[in-house]
Amino acid sequence: MAYQLYRNTTLGNSLQESLDELIQTQQITPQLALQVLLQFDKAINTALANRVRNRVNFKGSLNTYRFCDNVWTFVLNDVEFREVTDLVKVDKVKIVACDGKNTGNAAE
Amino acid sequence: METSGRIATTPDALDFTVENVEKGLHQLYYDPNIENKNLAQKWLMQAQVSPQAWQFCWALLSPDKVPEIQYFGASALHTKISRYWSDIPSDQYETLKTQLFSQIACFSSGSKMVLTRLCVALASLALNTMPEVWPGAVPEMVRVFQEEGGGVDGRARCLALLELLTVLPEEFQTSRMPQYRKGQVRGALGREWGSVCPLLQQLLRQGDSPGAVKSRVLRCLSSWVLLDVPLSESEGLVEDCFTALPDPELFDTAVEAIVNAISQPDSQRYVNTLLKLVPQVLSLQEQLREAVQNGDMETSHGICRIAVALGENHSRALLEQVEHWQGFLALVNMIMFCTGIPGHYPVNETTSSLTLTFWYTLQDDIMSFDCERQAVYLQVYRPVYFQLVDVLLHKAQFPSDQEYASWSSDEKEQFRIYRVDISDTLMYVYEMLGAELLSNLYEKLGRILTNTEQASSWQHTEALLYGFQSIAETIDVNYSDVIPGLIGLLLRININNVQLADTVMFTIGALAEWLADHPVMLSSVLPLVLQALGNPDLSISSVSTLKKICRECKYDLPPYASNIVAVSREVLSKQIHKTSQCMWLMQALGFLLSALHVEEILRNLHSLITPYIQQLEKLADETPNPSNKLAIIHILGLLSNLFTTLDISKQEDESGESTAPPVKTAPLPPGPNPVVVVLQQVFALIQTVLSKWLNDSQVVEAVCAIFEKSVKTLLHDFAPMVSQLSEMLGQMYSTIPQASALDLTRQMVHIFARETDHFPPIKALFDLVTSVTLSIFQQGPRDHPDIVDSFMQLQAQALKRKPDLFLSESLDVKAVFHCGLLSLKFPEAPTVKSTCLFFTELLPRCSDVPPVARVVQENGKLLLQAVLEAIGGGSSRSLMEQFAEVLFSLNKHCFPLLTVWLKEALQAQGFPSTRVTTEQKDTFTQQILRERVNKRRMKDIVKEFTLVCRGLHGTEYAAEYCL
């Protein structure tokens, strides 16, 4: 199973906009658009699992957390993100995390 | 070919006969013209779903046709059965089934791809009819294929049956059926396992079964275990898979089947079976060792997958079987062997990376036990994890220089990734092993660095330091007592290699926070860092380390400040570093200077930036050309980066122990802020530069960046420059409008518009940029979506911070409103978002800003029309929330008018979309007018309506849309 959370990214949104347009102008069917979207889910899950190893550290105070349907959600306050070169301070951050192992399976 | 080309284009094209389909296929496969191919493809897809498909598919399967044609027949059959099942009258189910059986029998010795398609078609039929109409589907399949006859030999029939049984669960996994039906069919399939299992077992155990049959049996097993068949019931078969492993022909499929069976989430319930699997997995160690010795990567990889699957999925269950602790420990050691498999990743082996997640899982499981049990397990597993650290650090070692040089860049990148994974694992392991891990690493490092008899390799030293760095980078190492010793050792390292030097630098960087608490050690490490600063090969590591130290330890750095500034000046003037490192270096210096006395800051600032000011003066005199443009942007960038971090306001509150983010309310030192002093001194020069480069957006951007960064850091300290900067911005913008100038204006409005003293210059600037932008709109704003975006944001900010700006006589509110209407129709999403924000800020002002109220009253209907048009399909669906906000705001602040406008606007036929009926529009109107409190609900209504307008309502695609 490939996670769908990456649809709400710049890349995912742009894809959906294009698909919408193609459906509205009757160039593709909604069924085909759905297949494209599912393929996008697979591809981006695999790519993020296997091709990215950048690391960012962060610390902050944990406001709330929950674990529901295998999805972790953390809301953090006063967070400092540290990359090798930069420090970014943010008042509030919401982290949504899913088990990366599942996406590995999906990639196979 | 011409005749077949006609098929797809002429009116009789819908004549889906066998002959036409064959012609279409010929065209699809062999026509050199891509357009004809596409036409044929489209036509064939229509043919496949047409009612006639039920007739022509059988004819296409005739034995005298070529496989491509037969395949299309089988595929059409599957499409019809899976998607148009309701076409078939129930009294014909039986005939269809019999026909399919007989076709499969025919093709069991024919084309494999056609056979598979036919099996999938029959599987789909079975899924549509089980369990009520076709109870016992699987026994019937088995029986039919076991019957002699049809002139087909037994082996072919057996393979066909296995193919059918393999695709049945797969078809179930991919089929789309309602949830309730899915549960029903899953249950029925689960019961069928009772017939499949003995058959597979029999075929696998028969000594005379050919390899091809056994391999198919294993694939079939893989397919069925994914349905969650109880592990206890597949136990015997899984054991048989282990027996198949020594056979190279069956190895891959057997591994797949075992891993699939073990990894089923449900399998953890069968602890006894799992316990029986442990010795089986352990028995593979011999085969594993042999494979490793012979460099047989496929075999070692496969065996490792099995061991990891068992360990990773069931460590908790197996750990709890205390009486079997030795078996599990042996499995852990087997996985350790896989982690430490000889050779360098990824060139000599790719197996070790498979094991890393296992170590996380095992650690999590151990740490989740209650204290008492945890202590028992830790006694056994702490030594294992210490061993793991050794193994990982060994694997993290760089190969010899010669070997590394022979690697491709891709291999080097993979190795880097692998080291990051190891680093993450070490960081996690630290949670379990604690400070002892650091002492352990320290001792090892000490031993190799002080051993005078045997020189150690740089790779070994580097790996140990890498381990330190991995941990210190994220974890507070304050309570470890080995750090002073480590720093002592760092100084002893004979740095004769770039990778080693990099790691030394990064390790020092990782200790920056520790150094802030132990400033006495700064004098030892700073010389190392400053020396490295002069080496272009160490550019990234040395500059980032200096930046970390300056950020964390600035209050202890004043004694070293002049030295750091001097070295930095030198490396900057020698142009050792690339642009981005120069920028980091300036940020580092900004931090450093922030902690000095004002007069010291000024002295250092002058010595630091005077050469650049002189250079800039020279550049400003030259005729603009591409090379001096880059030089100008570089210098301006250096200044902005310096001013980003140079912040004296934090001196007071950060020197305290407070861990909260600094609040900028501390009393400021008397006298002007040194940044302001410098900015005022260079202001004239910047104006000169601007005068020559005004139409270059990059230079203007770089100038704006200096002030933007300074304003952000200085906040109210920036006050002395407000009128000067407002004037300059106004001049800049009226000559050549640029988005960056508007952004800076917005920031000024944000900070200073509410202050009486600064209101006049801000107001003048606001009026000016607004009227200039309005003239852009008159000339056609489509070429400047960035300016429009920034303009809308500026207007929204003004409405929010200081609505009085809209009371001005010189501000044409109506014109701004109309610009907003135009901007709503832009294709650029960010611009539309900003415009929606502008309107949501504008509408509440109807109550307190009369000019706004007038304009909305007279022109609000146009706004509503624009919003409806966007919802009707004119704008991207991802923007619907923003449009819903505007509607909500209209509803809340202009309710009586909205009621009339909505009625009038939606009266027009085909507006906002031809797809919505009058009733749907009426419902929408009612829903909108009712929703004056719940914004979420308003968004839902708009999203629902937009789907109807776009013809997407009720489609699965729209349901999957996550926005």
DSSP assignment of B205-232 equals: H-TT--HHHHHHHHHHHHHHHTTT--HH
Residue B53: how many CA atoms within 13 Å on its side-chain side?
24
Per DSSP, the three-state class of B945 is helix
Residue of A nearest to B875 (CA): A17
A chain contacts of residue B580, beta-carbon cutoff 8 Å? 85
Q: What is the DSSP string of B122-169?
A: HHHHHHHHTTTTSTTHHHHHHHHHHS--TT--HHHHHHHHHHHHHHHH
Beta carbons of A20 and B474 less than 8 Å apart: no
DSSP class of residue B667 equals: P
* pLDDT for the residue numbered B385: 97
- Tell me the chain B residues in contact with residue A37 when contact means C-beta distances shorter than 8 Å: 957, 960
Interface of B with A in 455-484 (CB under 8 A): 473-474
Find the closest chain B residue to A56 by CA distance: B474
Flag whether residue A7 sits within 8 Å of chain B, measured between CB atoms. Answer: yes
Answer whether A30 sits within 8 Å of B544, measured CB to CB. Answer: no
Touching check for A34 and chain B: CB below 8 Å? yes
Looking at the complex, does the CB of residue B574 fall below 8 Å from at least one CB of chain A? no
User: Residue A102: is its pLDDT beyond 80?
Assistant: no
Q: What is the distance between the alpha carbons of residues B820 and B594, in angstroms, rounded to a whole number?
A: 43
Q: Count of CB contacts below 8 A, A vs B?
A: 67
Structure tokens at B523: 């004098």
- The answer to whether A25 contacts chain B (CB < 8 Å) is no
Contact check, Cβ <8 Å, A84/B963: no
Q: Which residues of B touch A18 (CB under 8 A)?
A: none
B960 to chain A: which residues are within 8 Å by CB? 4, 34, 37-38
Alpha-carbon distance B198 to nearest alpha carbon in chain A (angstroms): 29
How many C-beta neighbours within 10 Å does residue B827 have? Answer: 12
CB–CB contact B660 A20 (8 Å): no
B356 neighbourhood in chain A, CB within 8 Å:
none
- Best of B650, B962, B963 to substitute, by most chain A Cβ atoms within 10 angstroms, is B962
The answer to whether B960 contacts chain A (CB < 8 Å) is yes
Q: Is B584 on the interface with A (CB under 8 A)?
A: yes
Query: Both ends of chain B: CA-CA distance in Å?
Result: 48
Q: Which residues contact B456 (CB under 8 A, 6 or more apart)?
A: B448, B449
- The answer to whether A53 contacts B420, with C-beta atoms less than 8 Å apart, is yes
**What are the 10-residue block averages of pLDDT along chain B, 963 residues in total?**
41 73 91 88 88 89 92 93 87 91 90 94 93 89 80 83 94 84 89 91 87 93 90 92 94 96 88 95 96 93 96 93 94 97 94 93 93 95 97 97 94 91 92 92 92 84 94 81 90 88 94 93 94 94 95 94 94 92 95 93 91 92 89 94 86 46 47 85 90 88 92 88 93 90 95 92 95 91 92 96 90 94 93 96 93 94 96 92 96 93 92 92 94 92 94 81 50
Closest CA to B524 of B508, B538, B543: B508
State the Cα–Cα distance between residues B245 and A1, nearest whole angstrom. Answer: 29
Residue of A8, A84, A102 to mutate when probing chain B, most B C-beta within 10 A: A84
Domains of chain A as residue ranges with CATH = 3-49 (1.10.287.190), 55-96 (2.30.18.10)
Q: Which of B544, B584, B878 sits opposite A17 (nearest CB)?
A: B878
Token pair recorded at residue B288: 């594993």
B957–A31 C-beta distance less than 8 A: yes
| B660 contacts in chain A (CB < 8 Å) | 78
Residue B416 CB: number of other CB atoms within 10 A? 11
Written as one letter, the residue type at B452 is T
Best to test chain A binding among B313, B581, B961 (most A CBs inside 10 Å): B961
Contacts of A33 in chain B (CB under 8 A): 957
Task: Looking at the complex, report in whole angstroms how far the Cα of residue B645 sits from the nearest Cα belonging to chain A.
Answer: 11
How many whole angstroms separate alpha carbon B697 and alpha carbon B627? 16
Q: What is the ipTM of this complex?
A: 0.73
Residues contacting residue B376 through CB under 8 Å, at least 6 positions apart: none
Nearest residue, CB atoms, A37 vs list B951, B952, B960: B960
B812: region left, alpha or beta (phi > 0 left; psi from -120 to 50 alpha):
beta
Contact assignment for B877 to A34 by CB distance below 8 Å:
no
**d(C-alpha B543, C-alpha B546), whole Å:** 5
Rounded distance between C-alpha atoms, residue A85 and residue B584, angstroms: 7
Closest B-chain CA to A17 = B876
Of B128, B46, B45, give the one whose Cα is nearest residue B87: B128
Does the CB of A13 have a partner CB in chain B at under 8 Å? yes
**Residue B541, min C-alpha distance to chain A (Å):** 9
For residue B848 the two structure tokens come to 């307190």
Pairing of strands A71-82, A87-98: antiparallel
Q: With contact defined as beta carbons under 8 Å apart, do B946 and B881 qualify?
A: no
Cβ neighbours of B357 in A, within 8 Å? 101
Say if residues B636 and B674 touch (Cβ distance below 8 Å).
no
Min Cα distance B875 → chain A (Å) is 9
Q: Do A34 and B956 count as a contact with CB atoms less than 8 A apart?
A: yes
Pick B951's closest partner by Cβ from A4, A24, A87.
A24
Q: How many residues does chain B have?
A: 963
Name the pTM for this structure. 0.77
Suggest the residue from B543, B952, B957, B962 to mutate for an interface test with chain A (most A CBs closer than 10 A): B957
Chain segment A31-86, per-residue pLDDT in tens: 889 889 999 998 998 888 777 766 777 888 898 999 887 788 999 998 988 776 67
Q: Does B681 touch chain A (CB under 8 A)?
A: no
Q: Are B962 and A33 inside 8 Å of each other by CB?
A: no
Cβ of residue B900 closer than 8 Å to a chain A Cβ? no
Q: Which DSSP helix (H) or strand (E) runs through A60?
A: strand A57-68
- Region of B677 on the Ramachandran plot (φ > 0 left; ψ -120 to 50 alpha; else beta): alpha
Name the residue of chain A whose CA is nearest to B547's CA: A85
List the single residue in B420, B421, B547 with the smallest CB-CB distance to A85: B547
Residue B664 has a pLDDT of 40
Whether B142 contacts B131, CB under 8 Å: no
- pLDDT greater than 90 at residue A97: no
Residue A7: its chain B contacts at CB < 8 A? 961-963
Q: Which residues of A touch B83 (CB under 8 A)?
A: none
Return the ∠ at Cα B392 (arms to B397 and B262), rounded to 5°: 135
- Mark out the alpha helices in B341-457 (DSSP H runs): 356-367, 371-395, 401-406, 409-433, 435-450
Token pair of B246 as six digits: 């020594």
Q: Which residue of B has its CA nearest to A100?
A: B357
CB contact under 8 A, B950 and A23: yes
Residue A29: how many other CB atoms lie within 10 Å: 13
Residue B803 structure tokens: 């609505």
B947 CB contacts (<8 Å, ≥6 apart)?
A: B953, B954, B958
Question: What is the model's pLDDT at position B6?
Answer: 41
What is the nearest CA distance from B484 to chain A, expressed in angstroms?
Answer: 23
Q: Does B540 touch chain A (CB under 8 A)?
A: yes
Residue B182 to residues B175, B300, B757: CA-CA distances in angstroms? 9, 39, 72
Residues of A in contact with B661 (CB under 8 A): 78, 89
Q: What are the residue ranges of helices labelled H in B17-92?
A: 18-30, 34-49, 53-60, 67-83
Is residue B359 classed exposed, middle or buried when 0-12, 13-18 and 19+ CB atoms within 10 A define those classes?
A: buried
**If you measure CA to CA, which chain A residue comes closest to B174?**
A1
Can you tell me the distance from the alpha carbon of B911 to that of B143, in angstroms, rounded to the nearest whole number?
63
A61 in contact with B, Cβ within 8 Å: no
